[in-house]
Structure 1
Amino acid sequence: MTSTAIAVVLCVASAMAYAGAAVVQERVAHRPVRVLLSMPLWGAAIGLNGAGAALHVVALRYGALSLVQPFGVLTLVLAVPFGAVLVRRAVTRVEWHGMAVTVAGLGGILVLMGATSGIGAVGAGQLIGLLLVTAAVLTTLGGWSAVPGASGLWAAAAGGVAFGVSSALTQTVAVQVSDAGLGALSRPGAVLAAVAIAVLSGAGLLFTQRSYRDGLAAPLAVNTLANPVAAAVIGLVLLGERVAGGSVGVAVVGFSALAAGIGVGLLAKAQAERDDRPARAGAVRAVAGG
């Protein structure tokens, strides 16, 4: 198998693990963190997330960052039907359309991003700047998500960014270890990257858990979109990756991102409609009873 093929297989397996974790997390999303810590079910979700992360780390050794990241869209494709089956309901037409448009958009990004001659690593000097920018972005998104009545999609975006940056740093550490052996882990840059990976992964998990209070499909779609976008920006700015096809490729990527955003909107609409049905049914019963 070629390196690309190995990366694809690992990405599919990783997406399956993440999908299972997302379904479990959504089921317990309204529980406070202190309660979740004592729940075996949430522990199973953490285990699935860990398995998905491990497979993802290995995939990053075989494929470029912006090639591997968009495969996270499979998590959305798998998790929404899994979640529907769990609660014994059918996936709605709007949900299917939303998933299809989101997948098509991320597919366009997948095909055209990540054109590079090798697998890059973030330099020591670049690492500090990346962490400062990431901290500012997560603080802003986290602040918006904490506003009373705010959409959980802000938390989902923060989770996606955290996971995307974490993946970039994971790739960096993997490349350093591959080039210089385990001794590379004693370097200050590698230590800082490892600490940042742990912090960002934890933050991503908590942001994502919070986002599922608004349902599964739309927050997961936003998380799935923000993750590869963050990774692609890092790949383009810091790792020497580029968009295939020149200006035409850039335009296609832009339209693809727009399509993915429309797909997220459809999934959010489907969730809102589903949330409104019990309220409408209760109002009808109240009128009939009156």
Structure 2
Amino acid sequence: MSAAAVIAVVLSLVSAVAYAAAAVAQERLASKTSGAGLLRLLGSGAWWAAVGLNAGAALLHVVALKYGPLTLVQPLGALTLVAAVPMGARVAGRRVSGTEWRGTALTLLGLGALLVTASGPAPHQVLSLTEALAVAGTTAALIGALSRPGTRPGLRHATASGFASGVASALTQTVTVAATDRSGPVLSVQVIVVALLVAAFAVGGLLLSQMAYRGGLGAPLAVVTLSNPVTAAVIGLTLLGQGLQDGVAGILLALAGAGLASRGVVLLTRATPATPIAEPDDEHPVAAVLALESARVAAEQALLPRQKPESEHLTAH
């Protein structure tokens, strides 16, 4: 593995942890503000903290794309889900289940296989302005179809978020490589237009994921984790010439790694959380109210025998 690839892997690891922390924060916020409008979210300090984590993770991701190809950097995004599992369990006050541990192990094993085959040299080819606009237009149409008005927030929004994030990463690599190419101007028309597209898809992906997390963290995050690298890898392989190493053997190893990682992500999606360690009453207001109501009824029933003689005495008078 080259020095550039090592830098890309390290930056991707730190970026994945930051994205995981942001996803856990977004999921908890979404569960507490279900149905809330965007203006209410904008007034929430917790939401801005999640945005800050996403921004920091995105910055690290941008730098990683300067040193590593899409076929290497994007699959490492699956580590976001791996990191989010213990974080989410810790925040929820529960233990990580056995299924979640198996899913984590398979995901890490599959990503290890992908690292061997996809750790190529630093990227040098970029999308032309025409190719960037074509990719952006096609992706925008897909996102519009998946998240059309009236659609209930869920896995379709998560898929759209993954598409947006994957395209944003591919376009980001074009911006970073083109802007640091000393043979041309730093702020060319291509760089400016593609940078604006990156901003639009990055913000769109963030908002779409926020909607998707209203139904929970596991399944939506898993869908985002899978659709994001698939989208970026398709662009990298078809338009940027970012192939895999070791010929046919490398392709087979990459397919096996992708299969293991996908299986691990599916396990993490289907995992049933273990019994919580603690259940604070303030986190479950409905259960608390029901408990109080049951206690009230029991107390009234306990008092009935004492009230009966008084009733008979009044009747006698």
TM-score normalised by the shorter chain: which range applies?
A: 0.7 to 0.9
Q: 1:137 to 1:115 in 2, by over 3 A?
A: farther
Q: Is the 8 A contact 2:94 2:274 kept in 1?
A: no
Pick the structure with more helix per residue: 1
CA distance in 2, matches of 1:157, 1:24: 20
Q: 1:102 to 1:214 in 2, by over 3 A?
A: farther
Aligned position for 1:147: 151
Q: Map 1:20-169 onto structure 2 (within 5 A).
A: 20-30=21-31, 31=33, 32=36, 33-113=38-118, 115=120, 118-143=123-148, 147-148=151-152, 152-169=154-171
Aligned position for 2:232: 231
Q: Is the 8 A contact 1:215 1:271 kept in 2?
A: no
- Offset of residue 255 of structure 1: 4.1
Q: Percent identity?
A: 45
* Structure 1 counterpart SS, 2:96: coil
- Offset of residue 181 of structure 1: 8.1
**Matching residue's letter, 2:164:** A
- Offset of residue 178 of structure 1: 0.7
Q: 1:247 to 1:225 in 2, by over 3 A?
A: same
CA distance in 1, matches of 2:42, 2:184: 33
The TM-score with structure 1 as length reference comes to 0.83
- Offset of residue 141 of structure 1: 2.8
Q: 1:208 to 1:103 in 2, by over 3 A?
A: farther
CA distance in 2, matches of 1:271, 1:69: 27
CA distance in 2, matches of 1:251, 1:146: 42
Which is further off, 175-184 or 7-16? 175-184
- Offset of residue 211 of structure 1: 1.8
CA distance in 2, matches of 1:101, 1:211: 25
**Matching residue's letter, 1:232:** A
Q: Map 1:251-290 onto structure 2 (within 5 A).
A: 251-271=252-272
Q: Is the 8 A contact 1:218 1:271 kept in 2?
A: no
**Matching residue's letter, 2:238:** V
Q: Is the 8 A contact 2:68 2:122 kept in 1?
A: no
* Structure 1 counterpart SS, 2:95: coil
Aligned position for 2:302: none
CA-atom RMSD, angstroms?
2.8
**Matching residue's letter, 1:172:** T
Aligned position for 1:196: 197
Tell me the matched-pair count.
274
Which is further off, 130-139 or 246-255? 246-255
Which is further off, 1-10 or 91-100? 1-10
- Offset of residue 2 of structure 1: 2.0
* Structure 2 counterpart SS, 1:29: helix
The TM-score with structure 2 as length reference comes to 0.77
CA distance in 2, matches of 1:271, 1:201: 31
Q: 1:146 to 1:67 in 2, by over 3 A?
A: farther
- Offset of residue 140 of structure 1: 2.9
Q: Find out whether 1:212 has 2:213 as its counterpart.
A: yes
Which is further off, 25-34 or 162-171? 25-34
CA distance in 1, matches of 2:107, 2:227: 12
CA distance in 2, matches of 1:268, 1:62: 31
